[in-house]
Amino acid sequence: MISRRTFLKLSGLLIVLLFSRSLFSWLSKPKVLHILCSASSDKLAATISLSKGINELFLKVDEKIFNGTKIDREGKHWQFICENLRSNRTYSLSLVSKEEILESDWPLKTLPNKNEEVNNLKIMAFTCAGGGDGTSFGGKEFFKPFVFRQKMFDEGISNKPDIAIAIGDHVYWDLRGGDLPPLGRQQSAFIKFLIGGLLKFLYGSFNRNEDGRSDHNEMVLKNIGNDQIASLYGKRFKSIPIFFLPDDHDYFENDDAEENLVTFPADEFSKSAFKGMADLFYPPLLDCPSDAIERKIGRIRYGSLFEGLLADCAGDMSLGGKQASLVHSKNEDWILSRFKKSSAKHLAFIPSHPLGYTAGKWREWYPDVVASDEEDGTIMNELLSGKKGKLTTKAEKYLWQKGWFLQHQRFLKGLSDRKGNSFTFSGDIHAIGSNQIIKSGDYFLKKPILSTLVGPISSSTGTWPSAARGIIASKPEFLDVNEKLKIREENGFSLINITNQKVDINLHICGGHGGSEEDDGSIKKVINLQV
């Protein structure tokens, strides 16, 4: 017989061993870091990242099992495309490996098909959520802390939107034609040394001589995306179909045009890096002009009630004078045909760069540029130049293309000519505002078109137009508008409530302009607009 003391010692040892084994098992288990999903009437998509690589991953959708596609070499990033589902149905999803359940029983709903009668839809829309956690330099905060942004997300989610739309600039890592990202090009050697060196230390640097998805570049993409997307979103949107639309920063460039560097049209490295980041971190658009799953052009069709047409204005933009375009010509043709053919009661055009506003940037529909009263001739667009001036068309914007405005006219005419209700909303310009466009150039619209800036998530003291270009964004000179909401440089998001009878846009103002510690991302004010 063993003594009581010995028995207690052995029992304690056994408990320690069992606890250690359990702890080891818990520590070795892959943790789900982020889940983002999208939907159409008959498909669901999910993009997922894990803390630990595995060889196989499955998504259970009710009783159906779908194999995951491994996106990265480590087996930490996975994508699912789930087809042949029923419309307007809530499914129960579980993420499983061969050994265990990693995430269980979360609901996700397919969209109603185009013939289904639907009485209401609530959309959460926002822009410019990217950037590092509270990134600051030289006394300026360039991107808001994650807790600020996540508070805004949670405020929007608490209103139970049916879908969400993230409009452009999901990451900020502007290369300016190089391999390390300076903030601008004034004193660029110094800035590149300080900021580029810090970011290289944190994330690595790209090798532009290789494809964006080479072994080395994939690791850099993952380092950036894990920080700016996975850590930011986490799993909070997993039951809300969310549609990601790219813009210029998603191609790892700001839209710059200067004598020594023109960043767009995007080169092959930028295009491959964009696709690599998107595949790793957020779901594709499932309803597209062709059978191929897309990321630059797509549709959100919600029964007979609503049709939203999403268009990238950066990745396929072109030069070429009057033939130039921001949206690829074949995608323009499809969008214009949808304006005519769509039977939806309400239709929204959702480009990644807005109609109805200018901040003097190069890649805009409009020729307005920032210049002083004394300046004329050609003005080069330069971010963070420190120059003072105002928006004008008296000076010429370097390398601006007339074809961009001509395409803009075709889109506006198509929206205005449509028989049903039409409007447009977008992001990119870091501000909140709403204009009703009445006249554009020499074209008087048959019916006014409301254009709304839905609100940025992450802008701060260094990234407002007033800081980056010395002016606040405003209406272009070529347009006549009824101002519905005076433009304001504050963070926020929009909740768009759509019924058969009307569309209400509720702009949620969340502050954050001056970097005050009192700002926490909570809602300061809600402004209602009716389309």
CA distance 130 to 243: 15
CA distance 497 to 506: 8
How high is the pLDDT of residue 70? 98
pTM beyond 0.85: the answer is yes
CA distance 93 to 394: 57
Does 487 fall in a domain? yes
CB atoms within 10 A of CB 178: 15
Q: Is the peptide bond before 265 cis (omega within 30 degrees of 0)?
A: yes
Does residue 167 sit in the same domain as residue 270? yes
Does 10 fall in a domain? no
CA distance 137 to 126: 25
Does residue 207 sit in the same domain as residue 182? yes
Does 105 fall in a domain? yes
| 3-class secondary structure, 278 | helix
| Token representation of residue 254 | 């700001």
| 3-class secondary structure, 347 | strand
The most confident of the ranges 1-5, 114-118, 172-176 is: 114-118
What pLDDT, in 10s, does the model give residues 356-380? 999 999 999 999 999 888 787 888 8
What pLDDT, in 10s, does the model give residues 313-325? 999 999 999 999 9
Q: Where are the alpha helices (DSSP H) in 119-267?
A: 146-157, 188-191, 197-203, 215-225, 231-233
pLDDT at 292 over 50: yes
pLDDT band at 28 (very low <50, low <70, confident <90, very high): low
The residue to which tokens 């790892």 are assigned: 252
What pLDDT, in 10s, does the model give residues 86-110? 999 999 999 999 989 999 999 999 9
Does residue 86 sit in the same domain as residue 147? no
pLDDT at 339 over 80: yes
Closest CA to 155 of 503, 512, 531: 512
Does residue 367 sit in the same domain as residue 282? yes
Does residue 88 sit in the same domain as residue 222? no
| Token representation of residue 372 | 């002083």
* CA atoms in the 13 A half-sphere facing the CB of 322: 0
Does residue 65 sit in the same domain as residue 144? no
Does residue 196 sit in the same domain as residue 293? yes
CATH of the domain at 82: 2.60.40.10
| Token representation of residue 18 | 């069992």
| Token representation of residue 481 | 């508008």
> Mean per-residue pLDDT for 332-347?
98
How high is the pLDDT of residue 27? 55
The residue to which tokens 């903030």 are assigned: 183
Does residue 195 sit in the same domain as residue 59? no
Q: Who wins on pLDDT, 464 or 402?
A: 402
Closest CA to 370 of 385, 350, 352: 385
Does 15 fall in a domain? no
CA distance 494 to 126: 6
Sheet holding 503-511, edge to edge: 242-245, 163-167, 120-127, 491-499, 503-511, 525-530
Is residue 240 a contact partner of residue 288, using CB atoms and an 8 Å limit? no
What pLDDT, in 10s, does the model give residues 412-426? 999 999 999 999 999
How high is the pLDDT of residue 24? 46
pLDDT at 23 over 60: no
* CA atoms in the 13 A half-sphere facing the CB of 98: 3
| 3-class secondary structure, 167 | strand
CA distance 431 to 412: 22
pLDDT band at 18 (very low <50, low <70, confident <90, very high): very low
* 223 residue type, one letter: N
Residues of the chain with pLDDT > 90, as a percent, come to: 77
pLDDT, mean over the chain:
91
Does 4 fall in a domain? no
Does 52 fall in a domain? yes
Does 24 fall in a domain? no
Does residue 50 sit in the same domain as residue 132? no
How high is the pLDDT of residue 101? 95
How high is the pLDDT of residue 22? 45
CATH of the domain at 333: 3.60.21.10
The residue to which tokens 């070529």 are assigned: 478
Q: How many helices (H) and strands (E) does the chain have?
A: 10, 29
DSSP 86: P
* Structural domain harbouring 53: 30-109
Does residue 79 sit in the same domain as residue 130? no
| Residue 132 vs residues 199, 224, 446, 467, 512: alpha-carbon distances, Å | 10, 9, 44, 19, 16
pLDDT at 2 over 50: no
What's the number of domains the chain is made of? Answer: 2
Q: Where are the alpha helices (DSSP H) in 418-476?
A: 465-468
Beta partners for 165? 125, 243
CA distance 134 to 239: 27
Does residue 309 sit in the same domain as residue 237? yes
Does residue 97 sit in the same domain as residue 154? no
CA distance 492 to 164: 14
CA distance 379 to 396: 6
Burial class (CB in 10 A: 0-12, 13-18, 19+), 103: middle
